[in-house]
Amino acid sequence: MTPVPIEIDGLTKRFGDVVAVDDVSFDIGAGEIFGFLGPNGAGKSTTIRCLLDLIRPTSGACRVLGLDSRKDAVEIRRSLGFLPSDLAMYPNLTGRQTLEFLAHLRGGVDWAWVDELSARLDADLTRRVAEYSSGNRQKVGIIQAFMNRPKVAVLDEPITGLDPLVQLEFHAMLREHVSDGNTVFLSSHTLSEVERVTDRVAFIRRGRLIAVESMEHLRAKAVRRLRLEFAVPVPAEEFLGIAGVHEATADGATVTLQYEGSMAPLLKAATNREVLSVESGSIDLDEMFLEFYRDEAADEVADERGVEAARHGGV
Ligand SMILES: Nc1ncnc2c1ncn2[C@@H]1O[C@H](COP(=O)(O)OP(=O)(O)OP(=O)(O)O)[C@@H](O)[C@H]1O
């Protein structure tokens, strides 16, 4: 049986009185881009540091490709690519020299592949690191994470400093990478990135796992907006009984609706009348994200649900 690429098993990490990570468990499968989402200080970097054996857990275990993070750290490194949130680089080396240095530590890499990565990210490897913009620094960080074609890539806030076009290219690269059966574990506090690129996402807050959900499931659950313009005024109440409709308001001949799930019953009802235009709002995951983090009272309920789901490998 192929080993599970990443397993976090009852991980707890305390720094004195601070419980940075509190009994967190989840698995990430082969071919997945998995997002790890949470606000500042939630425990994302601490989890990643334990996974990479940069710090020792207080209790629990992490495994990469079936190998124990603590006991088999050296072997794990061969199959792993890592982009830390604060990659240390020698200021006097150029980008290329930095990559050569890191390639040497890894026992050599395929330079044609490194050149391809660098061209795709439009990275300037000729200048000294000291002269780099934060974006170019990040590009070198990404290239070094992928230079050994890792089976498992762990990326801490990868799009920081990248402009939107480079972000698009980078996300395309991630998709290609997992299409070969590799795995990407990506931590972020930006919902839009996680929404764009990940297959599943774990939500963490104050060290505790709130939920692990597939993006498909989140999208299906997300509330969407629909604006219908009719030839004549239509009462909003006509739409309130339809499956999935939460809210309906009318302004003259325009009806605005909030709904979840399939749009079909709603459209069927609407087309009984003369519809002049239909405008569908983007999926409102932002609201969902805020709800995960806003409501202190929901904490305990969500914990029970989320941790249970995580233990069973998500939804
Ligand atoms: N070395 C340390 N000593 C003491 N406390 C720490 C240490 N590292 C992290 N913490 C604390 O642990 C908690 C989790 O921090 P962590 O860096 O894992 O969060 P994060 O989710 O990665 O946040 P960010 O998005 O800001 O990077 C925070 O309260 C942080 O202050």
Q: Is the CB of 45 under 6 A from ligand 1?
A: yes
Both 39 and 166 in one domain: the answer is yes
Asked if 292 and 195 sit in the same domain, the reply is yes
User: For the whole model, what pTM was predicted?
Assistant: 0.79
Ligand 1 near 43 CB (within 6 A): yes
| Residue with CA at minimum distance from ligand 1 atom 26 | 40
Whether the per-residue pLDDT at 137 is higher than 50: the answer is yes
Query: What pLDDT does residue 55 have?
Result: 94
Residue 315 lies in a domain: no
Instruction: Measure Cα distances from 54 to 48, 82, 97, 105, 225 in Å.
Output: 9, 12, 25, 17, 45
283 lines ligand 1 (CB under 6 A): no
- Position 49 scores a pLDDT of 94
**Is 56 in the same domain as 93?**
no
98 lines ligand 1 (CB under 6 A): no
Domain count, the chain: 3
User: Does the structure show a pLDDT above 50 at 313?
Assistant: no
| ipTM tops the 0.90 cut | yes
Residue-level pLDDT at 20: 97
Do 178 and 62 reside in the same domain of the chain?
A: yes
248 within a domain of the structure (yes/no) = yes
Instruction: For residue 306, name the pLDDT band (cuts at 50, 70, 90).
Output: low
Its domain, for residue 186, covers: 1-79+150-222+283-310
What distance in angstroms lies between residue 131's CA and the mean position of ligand 1's atoms? 29
First-to-last C-alpha distance (Å) of the chain? 22
* pLDDT tens digit sequence for 152-197: 999 999 998 899 999 999 999 999 999 999 999 999 887 778 888 9
| 50, part of any domain | yes
Q: Which residues pair with 222 in a beta bridge?
A: none
At residue 1 the predicted structure's pLDDT band, cuts being 50, 70 and 90, is low
Q: Is the CB of 69 under 6 A from ligand 1?
A: no
Shared domain for 75 and 166, answered yes or no, is yes
Ligand 1 in reach of 128 Cβ (< 6 A): no
Residues 144 and 272 in one domain: no
Q: Does 18 lie in the same domain as 129?
A: no
Asked whether residue 64 falls in the same domain as residue 18, the answer is yes
The verdict on 160 and 210 lying in the same domain is yes
C-alpha 209 chain-centroid distance: 14
Same-domain pairing of 121 and 60: no
Alpha helices in 182-281 (DSSP H): 191-197, 215-221, 237-240, 264-270
User: Do residues 278 and 291 share a domain?
Assistant: no
Express each pLDDT in 79-135 by its tens digit: 899 999 888 899 999 999 999 999 888 777 889 999 999 999 999 999 999 999 999
Atom of ligand 1 nearest to the CA of 38: 21
User: What is the CATH classification number for the domain harbouring 15?
Assistant: 3.40.50.300
Predicted confidence at residue 85, as pLDDT, reads 86
At residue 296, does pLDDT exceed 50?
A: no
User: Is 123 part of any domain?
Assistant: yes
Tell me how far the alpha carbon of residue 31 lies from the centroid of ligand 1, in angstroms.
29
